[in-house]
Amino acid sequence: MTGLFWAIAKTLIVVLAAPLMVGWVKWLKCRLQNRKGPPPWQPYRDLLRLSRKHVVLAETASPIFRMAPYIVFSVTILAVSTVPVITVQLPVAALADVIALVGFLALGRFFLSLAGMDVGTAFGGMGSSREVTISSLAEPALLMAFFTLAMNVSSTNLSTVISVLGQRDITLYPSLIFSSMGLVLVAIAETGRIPIDNPATHLELTMIHEAMILEYSGRHLALMEWAAMLKLTLYSLLIVNLIVPWGVALTLVTGDLVFAALIVTGKLLLWGALLAVSETIQAKMRLFRAPQFLGLAFILSLLGMMSHIILEVQ
């Protein structure tokens, strides 16, 4: 029962902390670009403001449009609940493994893209079309990266993966290096960051995520935005806990947990800083160069798997 309590508490904390992560990246990016920028807690204000506003619904919208924010948000929460954050002792982790995690995210995206097409404007369709294009290239790369990790520890269960990797000596596994690189590239594409998509833009011809949610307002928009923040946090957690698994608590002892919480927060802040730097030094690429970017991610992940099978299997 304590395990379940911790799992729910952890999910709540991540859900509540997600806007801070986005705010932190945005604030740091502004600083790096010599702008003053909004404070890191600005996303909370935005969410609160949106959730108090009226919903203005397009006349052509169908029930799918109104259901989608709730489905997208709750599926993302479920995905978060299966990821170990500060401890691997997680009863919920048995509920769904890493393939199911990818499935949850895909389910959310399915409804997000449907919502984009629902109102029947050109923007929504454009955003959905681009989103499914990019994700249909990114998802196989992500699965390949996860499969490499899974084969390394012969388990697709995230808790097992992290605890086995965390207890290993620090050795150079070629497969893990390749698949980590693939994972990072996919994460950038899937969370709509530069160079694939620009979270700050509202220029019609370049946007992807913003185009899909253009018709949303009020609490629906708040949920969609929050889900996007949650997704960024989720991918960040996956990256910091899978690539650098040290520091995640292996037990449920309070001291360990506090220590682990500090370390994981530090790792997340560092990853956010890296993201801000990378977004400052490069520009968004053309949409039709995105396949090359994702193709690279796929090849890296596949290389990781091949090198595991050829070099590391005894």
Partner 1 sequence: MAWAGGLRQNFPVNDEMAILIAESAVLTALLSAILPLFFLNRPHLQSLVAFFLLGGSGLAAAWGGGMALLLQTTGQVVLPIGLPWLHVSLCLDPLAGFFLFIVGFITFTVACYGSGYIREYIGGQLSIGTLTLFTGLFACGMFLVLLAADAFSFMLAWELMSLASYFLVVFQHHQPENRHAAFIYLLMAVVGGAFLFLAYGVLAGFSDGFSFAAMKAADLSPTWATIAFTFAFLGFGLKAGIVPLHVWLPLAHPVAPSHISAMMSGVMLKVAVYGFIRFVYDLLGNIIWQWGVVVLLVGSASAVLGVLYALMQHDLKRLLAYHSVENIGIIYIGLGLSMIFHATHHLEIAALALIAALYHCLNHAIFKSLLFLGAGAILQQSRQHDMETMGGLIKKMPVTATCFLIGCISISGLPPFNGFVSEWLIFQAALQGPILKSGILGAMIPVAAAMLALTGALAAACFVKVYGIVFLGRPRSAEISEAQDPSFGMRLSQMILAVCCLGFGIFPTWVVRAINGIPESLMGTGLSSVTDNGWLWLTPVSPQTASYGAPAVFFGILVSWLIVFVFLHPLRRDNRIRLGPAWDCGFGPLNSRMQYTATAFAMPLRRIFSFIWLIVEKVEPAGPGEAPRYLLKIDDRVWLMFYVPIGKIMLKLAERASRIQGGNLRVYLSYSFFTLLFLLWVIV
Question: What is the C-alpha to C-alpha distance for residues 267 and 221, in angstroms, rounded to an integer?
Answer: 30
Name which of residues 192 to 221 contact partner 1 (CB under 8 A): 214-215, 218-219
Nearer to partner 1, 24 or 147 (CB): 147
Show contacts with partner 1 in window 266-295 (CB under 8 A): 287-288, 291
Site for partner 1 contains 52 (CB under 8 A): yes
Binder among 13, 17, 57, 261 for partner 1 (CB under 8 A): 57
Nearer to partner 1, 25 or 98 (CB): 98
Angle of helix 42-52 relative to helix 218-243, nearest 10 degrees, comes to 150
What residue type is assigned to position 163 of the chain?
S
Triad 198, 199, 203: Cα angle to 5° = 65
Among 85, 90, 150, 275, binds partner 1 (CB under 8 A): 150
Part of the chain binding partner 1 (CB under 8 A), chosen from 27-35, 261-269, 273-281, 305-313? 305-313
What CA–CA distance (Å, rounded) separates 70 from 291?
31
* Stretch of residues binding partner 1 (CB under 8 A), selected from 46-54, 186-194, 195-203, 236-244: 46-54
Binding to partner 1 (CB under 8 A) within 78-117 occurs at: 78, 81, 94-97, 99-100, 103-104, 106-107, 109-110, 113-114, 116-117
140: nearest Cα among 311, 247, 291: 291
Hey, what's the torsion of the CAs at 297, 139, 110, 12, to 10 degrees?
Answer: -90
For residue 205, what are its two tokens? Answer: 């011809």
